[in-house]
Amino acid sequence: MSAGSVRALLGLGSNLGDRDANIRRAVALLTAREDVDLVTLSEIVTTEPVGGPPQDDFRNGAALVETTLDAHALLTALLATERDVGRRRDGPRWGPRVVDVDLLLFGDAVLDDPDLTVPHPRMAERRFVLGPAAEVAPDMRHPTLGRTVRELLEALS
């Protein structure tokens, strides 16, 4: 990737249809773009849903990407990718979904506006996020907590 690229950590999840295929398709669509390169993809693991209505288990993973997009443009690309894989946003909040692609960290950026909050506000509390994230970016630092992804995961143990 060219100069000016940023490493971004993405959280991935699915609990409808072929969950693993949904996640892999989202990663493939996203990284088929010229402005997003896959650095590494975690193992995809089964996790129980947290919050929301009763629903099936999730498959979750994480991806580390390099991008020349800014954070808002990357979010737009993530939302388009979710739509392309088949996600609809007309169900209950935290309900079942074909695919979910969350922007967890964007370099050392700290953003808090109506459309985007980075770092992801709940990532440090969620083992289903931090487990896969620690596999692909253990030394990536949470810019407001000052701890690495690995340290955040260990703090949950």
The mean predicted confidence, pLDDT, of the chain is 94
pLDDT at residue 16 above 60? yes
**Per residue in 20-33, pLDDT tens?**
999 999 999 999 99
What's the pLDDT score for residue 1? 57
Structure tokens at 107: 């370099």
CATH of 6-156, one of 3.40.50.720, 3.40.190.10, 3.30.70.141, 3.30.70.560: 3.30.70.560
**Per residue in 72-86, pLDDT tens?**
999 999 999 999 998
55-59, 65-69, 146-150, 152-156: least confident range: 55-59
pTM above 0.75, yes or no: yes
Helix, strand, or coil (residue 127): helix
How does DSSP assign 18-71, residue by residue?
Answer: SHHHHHHHHHHHHHTSTTEEEEEEPPPEEE---SSSS-PPEEEEEEEEEESS-H
**Per residue in 51-64, pLDDT tens?**
778 888 999 999 99
**Per residue in 105-131, pLDDT tens?**
999 999 999 999 999 999 999 999 999
DSSP 82: H
**Residues that are catalytic:** 87, 97, 100, 102
pLDDT at residue 44 above 70? yes
Using the CB atoms, write b or e for 3-38: b if 16+ within 10 Å.
Answer: eebbbbbbbbbbbbeebeebbbbbbebbbebebbbb
Q: In this prediction, what percent of the chain has a pLDDT beyond 70?
A: 96
